[in-house]
A and B are shown apart, each in its own frame.
Chain A
Amino acid sequence: MPLNLEPNFHEPGKHYLHGFSPGDEFYELLIKMHRPLSEAESIKVNARLILLLANHIGDLSVLREAMTIATQCATQE
């Protein structure tokens, strides 16, 4: 399966009235998680989070594709 770049946030059993709601909820969780952290702690937490999620995805071809897109964005800066 290729990397999914379409909106994909959801929660089993939960019904959303607006298309933006689950994504906004994820974003809020992310920002709230970082709120009490120092910048150095945030960097470490981000690293752990990437590792956890990468393992969950597992498929190296998907991860490779995500890495490519993420670094492409950076080189455009």
Chain B
Amino acid sequence: MLKTYTYPKFEYRRPEDLDCTTVRRHPVLIVGAGPVGLALAIELRLKKLSVIVIDEDNTVSVGSRGVCYAKRTLEILDRLGVGDRVVEKGVAWNVGRTFFHEDEVYRFDLVTDPDHERPGMLNLQQYYLEEYLVERAQAVGVELRFKQQVLSVDAHEEGATLEVQSPDGRYQISTDWLIAADGARSPIRRALHLDVEGHVFQDRFLIADVLMKAGFPPQRWFWFDPPFHPNQSVLLHRQADDVWRIDFQLGWEADPEVEKQPDRVIPRIRAMLGAEHEFELEWISVYTFQCRRMAQFRHGRVLFVGDSAHQVSPFGARGANSGIQDADNIGWKLDLVLRGAAPQTLLDTYHEERAYAADENLLNSTRSTDFITPKSPISRVFRNAVLELAEHHAFAQRLVNSGRLSVPACYTHSRLNTPDLDAFAGHLTPGTPADDAPLPDGSWLLRQLAGGFTLLYFVDPGRRVDAEIAALTALVDDDISINLVLVAAIGAARSRYDAHHGTLYLLRPDQHVAARWRQMDLTRIRAAVRRACDLH
């Protein structure tokens, strides 16, 4: 029981399938109501598909897990309709401070570029995120089946048939497309005998959530080898409700059962915070982690998303953040395939784009882990030399690696992109997620994107473009509809997009840039949409 949070008990309803003589068939079934399964369910439901989510539990994530959600994730949550709640409850931060022994050696600021609606990072206990997602899923009409465990899976060419255990008995259910959002241990992955390759890191971390009223600013603090926890690292984050999360590195030899005892944990925290801070323990656990991914995220009609497909070390907060981007990537593709508007091969690009992202996450989190936990005396010598030099020298500060925080992957090599014909400056090359910018009326650019394909049309204020708009509006009636959004080519929007009067950006439903032009050409725009849908 936590002092600051009461775990909700979601309602179990007796599934109708128990009373059916035939096995019911559904278009999409998601197994797992973690952040990733829920995000995808909401996305598909907003696209008017009927969606079922099955979860063996009837509450949210128990204890302390995910903390930090990145700007890109918040932007996705905005589109799903939970961003405001998450941001209101959470603790926004941009500054990270790193200490070695007693001294501060490095400080970073995530938002080098101001004028984004969302902060660089937001801290919130994972259970809040999940609770908000469940409520949103229910509000938009996702069918959530709690307390139902998937026992077995039969995957075949037309879909999959599952055996499910409910409190009132077993039933079978069939689906055209099965989404395995069933977490790191993924029973579906196991049932299908699929491999996940990588390794366990030989280290243990103690997690403590403590309740205290402390005046520390909302920043990420990371210590290498501090006097209060010699030879190891410590991480401090502020979460909602005055709950602070502390991660103590313990080393591989530590005994988790012993380390979890409050009479062991409390002195550690007291040594860290100083005697003047009163605190209460909310949660203690010990974890180890893995860095690994499946070779293929798509197996016919079974698609793996989130932790079931890939797991990373927590340094960099890339777990849930990348899982939610998986959902963002697959949602619109599945929608188009289910409607018959795009070929099934579009779903292969889910694997291509997100496996690329997973590799980037694995690379960065493995490098961080190797820096934080040197595996040999010589690598500890180098690590400490970097930290010593970092106190005075910029080059060494850049090398300090206490976690490279989650940033979205840019699918610059994706076959869904249309290569540039015109010259553009800046970073928004095809494959990159659209950047936010403030608009003259006080709203934000990303808020104008409704969810389908969107054409951003940049116009100098005051110039008449009636004929162009009339022509572009015709695209709304295409088979794959394209929304038109006019953007004043001024300020941050102009500079970030390197926009002139008449510049056009075609954005995919997940807001990644598909193509861009300096001049309007409907044939080219339509060709780029077809390409982004893998239609040839």
CA gap between A7 and B378 in the complex, in Å: 23
In the complex the two chains form, what is the Cα distance from A36 to B533 in whole Å?
A: 47
Task: Identify A30's interface contact among B382, B393, B398, B401, CB under 8 A.
Answer: B382
Query: Given A5-B393, A5-B394, A37-B378, is A23 in contact with B399 using a C-beta cutoff of 8 Å?
Result: yes
- Known contacts A31-B379, A35-B376, A39-B378; A7 and B395 CB within 8 A of each other: yes
A36 to B388: give the CA distance in the assembly, Å.
Answer: 26
- Give the distance to chain A from B497, nearest Cβ to Cβ, in Å: 17
Contact: A39 with B393, CB < 8 Å? no
**Which of A5, A24, A73 sits near B404, CB closer than 8 Å?**
A24
Is there contact, CB below 8 Å, between A20 and B389? no
- In the bound complex, residues from chain A placing their C-beta under 8 Å from that of B370 are 28, 31
Query: Nearest chain-A residue to B398 (Cβ)?
Result: A7
| B371 interface hit (Cβ, 8 Å) | yes
How many Å lie between the Cα of A14 and that of B354 in the bound state? 22
Q: Nearest 8 CB-CB pairs, A to B?
A: A7-B398, A42-B378, A5-B393, A73-B388, A23-B398, A23-B399, A34-B378, A7-B395
CB distance from B139 to the nearest CB of A (A): 37
- The yes or no answer to B364 lying at the interface (CB within 8 A) is yes
Compute how far the CA of A35 lies from the CA of B378 in the bound complex, rounded to whole angstroms: 9
Find the A residue at minimum CB distance from B112: A19
Question: Cα distance A42–B376 when bound, in Å?
Answer: 11
CB distance from B217 to the nearest CB of A (A): 24
B522 at the interface (CB under 8 A from A): no
27 A/B residue pairs, CB under 8 Å, sorted by A: A4-B395, A6-B394, A6-B395, A7-B394, A7-B398, A17-B410, A18-B404, A19-B398, A23-B395, A27-B367, A27-B401, A30-B382, A31-B370, A31-B379, A34-B376, A35-B375, A35-B376, A39-B377, A39-B378, A42-B376, A42-B378, A46-B378, A69-B389, A69-B393, A73-B385, A73-B388, A77-B388
What separation, in Å, do the CA atoms of A4 and B379 have in the docked complex?
A: 24
A-side contacts of B427, CB under 8 Å: 17
For chain B, residues 17 to 74, give those with C-beta under 8 angstroms from any C-beta of chain A.
Answer: none
Roughly how many angstroms separate A25 CA and B401 CA in the complex, as a whole number? 12
Shortest distance in angstroms between A5's beta carbon and chain B's nearest beta carbon?
5
CB distance from B434 to the nearest CB of A (A): 16
Residue A55 interfacial (CB < 8 Å): no
B235 at the interface (CB under 8 A from A): no
Q: Which of B381-427 contact A (CB under 8 A)?
A: 382, 385-386, 388-389, 393-395, 398-399, 401, 404, 407, 410, 427
Q: Which residues on the A side are within 8 Å of B378 (C-beta)?
A: 34, 37, 39, 42, 46
The one of A4, A5, A19, A31 in contact with B382, judged by C-beta atoms closer than 8 angstroms, is: A31
Q: Which B-chain residue is minimally distant from A22 (CB atoms)?
A: B398
B395 touches A18 (CB 8 A): no
Main secondary structure of the interface of B (DSSP, over half): helix
Q: Contact check, A27 vs B395: say whether CB atoms are below 8 A apart.
A: no
Beyond A23-B399, A27-B401, A37-B378, 5 additional pairs, beta carbon < 8 A: A6-B394, A23-B395, A27-B382, A31-B379, A69-B389
Q: Is the CB of A20 within 8 A of B395?
A: no
- Chain A residues with CB under 8 Å of B388's CB are 73, 76-77
Whether B410 and A5, one on each chain, are in contact in the complex, defined by CB atoms closer than 8 angstroms, is no
Assembly CA distance A45 to B265 (angstroms): 42
> Are A24 and B367 within 8 A (Cβ)?
yes
Task: State whether B407 touches A18 (Cβ < 8 A).
Answer: yes
B399: chain A residues within 8 A (beta carbon): 23-24, 26-27
Q: How far is the CA of A40 from the CA of B407 in the complex (A)?
A: 40
- A70 to B495, alpha carbons, bound, how many Å? 42
Selected from A28, A42, A73, the residue in CB contact (under 8 A) with B367 is: A28
Complexed CA–CA distance, A19 and B388 (Å)? 21
| Measured CA separation A54–B395 after assembly (Å) | 18
Task: Report A48-69 CB contacts with B as 1/0, cut-off 8 Å.
Answer: 0000000000000000000001
Are B398 and A73 in contact (CB-based, < 8 A)?
A: no
Least distance between B120 CB and chain A CB atoms (Å)? 14
Report the minimal beta-carbon distance from B95 to chain A, rounded to whole angstroms.
16
- Docked Cα-Cα span, A46 to B399, in Å, equals 19
Assuming the contacts A20-B401, A39-B377, asked whether A5 and B395 have C-beta atoms less than 8 A apart, the reply is: yes
Query: A73 near B395 (CB under 8 angstroms)?
Result: no
Residue in chain B with minimal CB distance to A42 = B378
Q: Could you say which residues of chain A place their CB within 8 Å of the CB of B367?
A: 24, 27-28
Instruction: Known A20-B404, A73-B388; judge A34-B395 contact (CB<8 A).
Output: no
Complex interface residues of chain A between 1 and 22 (CB less than 8 A to chain B):
4-8, 17-20
CA distance A18 to B141 in the complex (A): 40
Nearest A residue to B108, CB-CB? A20
> Which residues of the other chain, A, contact B377 by a CB distance below 8 angstroms?
39
